[in-house]
Structure 1
Amino acid sequence: MTHSQLKEARRLDALYKLNLLDTPPSEAFDRITRMAASLFKLPIAAVSLTDANRQWFKSRVGVEHDTIPRMRAPCGQVADSSEVLVIPDLLRDDSYRDSLLAESGIRYYAGAPLTTIDGHCLGAMCVLGTEPRDTTPEELTALCDLAGMVMAQIELQHALGRVDAVSGLPNRLQFIEDFQDLQLDAADGEQRLAVLINLASLDQLAHAARAMKSSYLDDLVTDGARWLRAEIAPAQRIYHVATAQFMLLSPAGESLESWLPRVEAKMQVALAFAKTRYVATPSAGVVPFDVGHDEALSVLRKARSAAQDAFDSPTHVAVYSQVEDVLYQRRFNLLNDFGEALDSPGQLRLVFQPRVDVANGRCIGAEALLRWCHPLLGAVGPGEFIPIVERSGLAQKTTAWVLDEALRHQRAWRDAGLQLQMSVNVSAANLTEPGFVAGVAAALARHELPADCLELEITESAIMAHPVRAHATLAEIARLGVGLAIDDFGTGYSSLSYLQKMPADVVKIDQSFIRNLESDTRQQALVTAMITLSQDLGHRVVAEGVETAAVLDFLRRAGCEEAQGYLFAAPLEADAFSAYSCPISTSALRVPKLTVPPRTTATLPL
C-alpha cells in the first residue's frame, strides 16, 4: 500500500467511525448551511462528505439530490488536499469545465475543509453559484469559520466525550483542544514544559492484562490519577491521554531547571509507591515546547518518546532528545519502508560470502547475506535494518524471501556445474513459526533441489527465546535432511549445554574470538579448545572473520575445517560469486608460526 493509499484508508476510517453517512437530516447542520448560503448570497450550499466513490450531502440548500459521484468533484479535491479551494468560473478551469457540476449550470465553487483533530479531512463546507464571481478574504474567513462550526457540531454529536470514565480526568481530545487554546492565550514564542507520566511499561501492562482481573488496571489508573492530582499538580489540569499515561503542562514562567528536579523527586516517590501495590515501573518524559510553534500531537509524541527513554534513566525521568528521536524515527520509517521493499522488485538482493576449506583453500560453500538499496536513502547497512526486522512481524516474510532467492541462485549455480552448499540465516521468529519446516521443504521442492544443498544458521539467542518450541523445530529440520549450523558460537550464555543438545552439523566460531588471534595467546588457547570440543561432539567447525594469513595458518594447524572472511573475499554479488575461485592456497602461505596450545578437555567459561 502506497503512502497516498494508506492516507486515504485512514481518512475513510475516520469518516466511517463518526457514523454520519446516510443519516437523516439534522437541523443543527441545516442551520449552518442556510447561514453559508445567506452570507455568500448564493443559491446553493452544502455540508459535503467525501466517501470512497461519492460526495454525500449531510446538509444541503438548493440541491435536490443528496449524492453525486466523487470523480472530478471539487469537494473531493478539498478532501485530498485538506485545503480551501476556490474556483471563480468552472468553465474556465481545465479540471472542471467538463465536470457534472459545470454541465448542470454551476459556474462558481468555494469549499473549506472539514478537518478532524487528528488531521483527517472528511469533506467540505461548500457554496456554489450559477454565475462566475470573485471571493473576498472576509468571505473565505467566514467560510472557514462555518466549516469549524460544522466540525464542532460533529464532535459534539459523535465524539466519545472529553472525560475518561475510569480516571475522571480530561482525555486526549480535551488535551488537544486545550493545547490549541493555549496558542491563543499565551504569548507567541513563550516556552512551556509538557510532562507525560507513564504508570507502567507496555510489557507490564500486557502481562497484567493476561494475568490479572480487569479491575487491576482500573485500580492502577485510579490510584495513579489520585496520586497525580495530590502530589504532582494539585492546582493544574491533568489529562488522561492513554491507558496508563497522563499529561500535564507547566505553568507560565517555569523553566526546565526549576521544574525538572521537582518532577524527579516526585517520581522517586511514585516508584516506591508502585512497588508496594503494583507490578509497575513509572517513568516520566519532559518536553520543552514553544507556544505558537509546536502542535499538540507532536508534543505528545515527543513526550512519549522521552518517557520510553526514561526507563533506562536512574531517576526514571528523561528530557526529550532530538538526536534519539531522530534515530528512533529513522528505525521506525525503515521498518515501514522494508515491508514495501519485500514486495517491490529491485530494492532487495542477496550477496554471497565464500566458505573455504582451510586444508586446501577451495571454496565449498556460500553464506547468503541480505542487502537493501532504499529508493531515497540508498544503501542501508544490514547492521541497521536486520535487527529491526527480526523484532517485527516482517521476520517470517523476510526469511521466506531470502530462502527463495538463495535457492533460486543455488539452482542456477548447480545447473552451471557449481556444487556448493548454501547457508541462510534464520531468526528466532522462524523457530516458532507454524509451518516453517513445511515451507522450507516446499521451497526446496519448488526449485528441485536436494535437502542437503541447504544449511540454516541459528544463533543461541534465537533458541533461548523459546527453547522447547525451537528444539522441536530444529529436530524437524534435521529429519528433513537440511544442514544446521550454530552461528556466532561462544557469544551466548549457555553455549556448552546447547552445543550438546542441538542436532547441529556445524559450529561457527564468532568473529570476536578470531579477531586479533595472532597476537593473543589466551585467545589462541580458547579458540583451540572450542575447536576441539566442537569436533569431539561431532561438529564441523567454521571460523568467521578471518582477515590475515597468520590467523588462517593458526586455524589450519589447530584443526579448524572451514573459514570465511575478508582474507578470501568480501560478500560478492551473485555474478561475481559464480565466477569466484579462491586465490588462497594454505600450503603456499608464508606466515609467522603461532604455537597451537595442546588439546584440552577443561571446562570453558563460555
Structure 2
Amino acid sequence: MKNPEQARLFALEQLNLLDTTPSESFDRITRMASQLFGVPISAVSLTDTNRQWFKSRVGVDHQEIPREKAPCAAVCDSAEIVVIPDMLDSNVYQDSHLANTGIRFYAGAPLTTREGQTLGAMCVLGREPREVTEQERATLVDLAAMVMSQIELQHAFGRVDPLTGLANSGQFDEDLQDLALDAPGERRAALFTEVVEASKLSDLHRTMGPAFLDELTRVSAQCLQEAIGRDSPLYHLGGCKFIHLVSADSDARLVDHALRLRKNLMDLESAREVPVQVQPVIGITSILLGETTSSDILRSAHAASLDARQMGKGAGAFSSALEERFQRRSMLLSDIGRALDGDDELYLVFQPRVSVATGFCQGAEALLRWRHPVLGEVSPAEFIPLIENTPMARSLTAWVVCRAIHQAALWHR
C-alpha cells in the first residue's frame, strides 16, 4: 500500500495540473484574493515532491519555489490554515526562500480533494507584517473551496474523458486560449489522429460490441500518450480520435513524426493488443496561437487526415490547395438552399433511351446540373456526395422529381 505522501502525489498527478499553462479560470480567483486581502501577491500553490508549483499567481514572476521551508508545504502537511504574521519573527521561516525575497506576511488555506488528499494551498502574501481576522480566515477557506470547485469542474464535469482519463475537446479549447495568452503569435502544429475510419466504427460496434471499442480507445490513448511523452497533453475527441500540439517544424519533418506515431499504433495489432486491423491516419495543420480557433484547427487537421486517407497515405499536412477545396465544398453546401429556391441555377438535361430494334424513344433519363453563379458549371459528381448525407438531400430529390414530372407532362401534351 502506498504511504500517505505517495497517495497524495498520485492524486495530484492524476489531476494533470502540474506544469500546465496558466488558466483564466484560476487567475480570477487569485486576483480576487489579492484584492480582498489588500496584498500584492496571491497564488494557487501545488505541493510537488521537491517544489511548490504555482498553477496561478499574481504579483510574482517565478513559476515555482523550493518546497523546503515553504509555508505552503506546511499547509499541505497539516491540512490546516497556516498564518505567519511576520516571517522574520519566525524561527522556522526567517531564513526561508520567501523571507529572503522580502516576503513578511503569509496566510494559506489547504486545497483538499473530496477524498481528503491535500494538493497545496490557496495563499496570500505581503511585504509588510500583518495579522488576519477571523473573517479573513473564513474568506481564505472560501477561496480555497472555489479553487477546488474549479479543479473538480475541469476534471470531473466535462473537461476529462472518463474512458481514457484524457482531457477532452472542451479542455483543448480552453488550453488553446491559455496558450495564446502566454505566447501570442507563436507558431505550433496540431496533429489529429484517427485510429479507425469513422465509417467503420459502426460496423465494429455492431460486430465486436461497445466494450471492444472502449478497450481499443483506451489502448490507443495509452499508446499515443507514451509515444508523445507526458509533457505534451493528448486530447480525446470522441470515438477513436485524438489531437495534440507540437512545436512548429517543416511539413516533411512533421509528417515523419506523424508516421512514427502511426507505426506505434499499427504495432498494437502485431503485438496482438487489439484483435482487428487498425488503419490509423494523422492530419497535420499549422497554427498561430491567438489567431487560429480550436474549431478551425479541428476542421483543417481533420480535412488533412481525410485527404491523406483518400490518397492512401498514413499522414498528410493541410495545404493551401486543400483549403481551396474545402472552401469550394463549403460554398456549395451553403448555396444549395438558394439554388433550390431559385429558377436559374439548377436544371435538368435528358438523355433519351432509344430501342435499337425499333428506333423509337422509350423514355429518358433525367440528369441534374448546376450552373453556379460564381463557380460556373458544377458536376453532380462533385456536389451530390456533399449533399446526400445532409437534410438538403430530400429537398433536392423532391426538386428533381417535380421538374422531371413537369417535363414529362409537357412532352405528353
Q: TM-score band, normalised by the shorter chain? A: 0.5 to 0.7
Work out the CA distance in 2 between the residues paired with 1:296 and 1:242: 15
Q: How far off its partner does 1:180 sit?
A: 1.2
Q: How far off its partner does 1:237 sit?
A: 1.2
> Does structure 2 retain, via aligned residues, the 8 Å contact 1:239–1:246?
yes
SS class of match (1:167): coil
- Residues 524-553 of structure 1: CA distance to partner in whole angstroms, max 9, x if unpaired? xxxxxxxxxxxxxxxxxxxxxxxxxxxxxx
| RCO comparison, higher one (Cα < 8 Å, 6+) | 2
> Does structure 1 retain, via aligned residues, the 8 Å contact 2:283–2:306?
yes
Question: 5 Å matches for 1:361-440?
Answer: 366-374=364-372, 377-389=375-387, 394-395=392-393, 397-415=395-413
SS class of match (1:385): helix
Q: Which amino acid aligns with 2:208?
A: M
- Residues 457-499 of structure 1: CA distance to partner in whole angstroms, max 9, x if unpaired? xxxxxxxxxxxxxxxxxxxxxxxxxxxxxxxxxxxxxxxxxxx
Report what 2:319 is aligned to: 321
Report what 2:281 is aligned to: 283
Mean CA deviation greater in 379-388 or 164-173: 379-388
SS class of match (2:279): coil
> Does structure 2 retain, via aligned residues, the 8 Å contact 1:192–1:255?
no
Report what 1:167 is aligned to: 164
Rate the CA distance shift 1:318–1:161 in 2: closer, same or farther, 3 A: same
1:305 partnered with 2:303: yes
Work out the CA distance in 1 between the residues paired with 2:242 and 2:285: 14
> Does structure 1 retain, via aligned residues, the 8 Å contact 2:368–2:380?
yes
Rate the CA distance shift 1:283–1:353 in 2: closer, same or farther, 3 A: closer
Q: Which amino acid aligns with 2:203?
A: H
1:219 partnered with 2:215: yes
Question: 5 Å matches for 1:30-41?
Answer: none
Work out the CA distance in 2 between the residues paired with 1:366 and 1:312: 35
> Does structure 1 retain, via aligned residues, the 8 Å contact 2:352–2:361?
yes
**Normalised TM-score (structure 2):** 0.54
1:265 partnered with 2:260: yes
SS class of match (2:159): coil
Work out the CA distance in 1 between the residues paired with 2:401 and 2:258: 51
Q: How far off its partner does 1:310 sit?
A: 2.6
1:178 partnered with 2:175: yes
Rate the CA distance shift 1:405–1:232 in 2: closer, same or farther, 3 A: same
Q: What is the aligned-residue identity percentage?
A: 38
Work out the CA distance in 2 between the residues paired with 1:348 and 1:312: 29
Q: How far off its partner does 1:236 sit?
A: 1.3
**Normalised TM-score (structure 1):** 0.38
SS class of match (1:250): strand
Q: Which residue of the other structure, out of 233, 244, 250, is the alignment partner of 1:237?
A: 233
Rate the CA distance shift 1:391–1:246 in 2: closer, same or farther, 3 A: closer
Work out the CA distance in 1 between the residues paired with 2:403 and 2:205: 41
SS class of match (1:294): coil
SS class of match (2:160): coil
- Residues 279-316 of structure 1: CA distance to partner in whole angstroms, max 9, x if unpaired? 33211111122233222221121111112223245551
Work out the CA distance in 2 between the residues paired with 1:272 and 1:331: 36
> Does structure 1 retain, via aligned residues, the 8 Å contact 2:251–2:317?
no
Rate the CA distance shift 1:409–1:175 in 2: closer, same or farther, 3 A: same
Q: Which runs of 5+ in 1 are unaligned?
A: 1-34, 36-151, 416-606
CA-atom RMSD in angstroms: 3.6
- Residues 326-354 of structure 1: CA distance to partner in whole angstroms, max 9, x if unpaired? 32442354245335533555543323345
Work out the CA distance in 1 between the residues paired with 2:367 and 2:158: 52
Q: How far off its partner does 1:175 sit?
A: 0.8
Question: 5 Å matches for 1:56-67?
Answer: none
SS class of match (1:163): coil
Rate the CA distance shift 1:255–1:404 in 2: closer, same or farther, 3 A: closer
Report what 2:192 is aligned to: 196
Question: 5 Å matches for 1:40-51?
Answer: none
Work out the CA distance in 2 between the residues paired with 1:348 and 1:339: 11
Report what 2:93 is aligned to: none
Q: Which amino acid aligns with 1:182?
A: L
> Does structure 1 retain, via aligned residues, the 8 Å contact 2:283–2:316?
yes
Q: How far off its partner does 1:191 sit?
A: 2.0
Rate the CA distance shift 1:160–1:330 in 2: closer, same or farther, 3 A: farther
Question: 5 Å matches for 1:432-451?
Answer: none
SS class of match (1:236): coil
Work out the CA distance in 2 between the residues paired with 1:164 and 1:367: 51
Work out the CA distance in 1 between the residues paired with 2:334 and 2:166: 34
Q: Which amino acid aligns with 2:241?
A: Q
Q: Which runs of 4+ in 1 moved over 6 A?
A: 356-364
Q: Which amino acid aligns with 1:179?
A: L
Rate the CA distance shift 1:325–1:210 in 2: closer, same or farther, 3 A: farther
Q: How far off its partner does 1:268 sit?
A: 1.6
Question: 5 Å matches for 1:75-154?
Answer: none
Rate the CA distance shift 1:223–1:327 in 2: closer, same or farther, 3 A: same
Q: Which runs of 5+ in 2 are unaligned?
A: 1-31, 33-148
Q: Which amino acid aligns with 2:308?
A: A
Work out the CA distance in 2 between the residues paired with 1:225 and 1:387: 32
- Residues 477-524 of structure 1: CA distance to partner in whole angstroms, max 9, x if unpaired? xxxxxxxxxxxxxxxxxxxxxxxxxxxxxxxxxxxxxxxxxxxxxxxx
Question: 5 Å matches for 1:513-552?
Answer: none
Work out the CA distance in 1 between the residues paired with 2:254 and 2:362: 65
Report what 2:292 is aligned to: 294
How many equivalent pairs are there? 262
> Does structure 2 retain, via aligned residues, the 8 Å contact 1:232–1:263?
no
- Residues 110-156 of structure 1: CA distance to partner in whole angstroms, max 9, x if unpaired? xxxxxxxxxxxxxxxxxxxxxxxxxxxxxxxxxxxxxxxxxx99x96
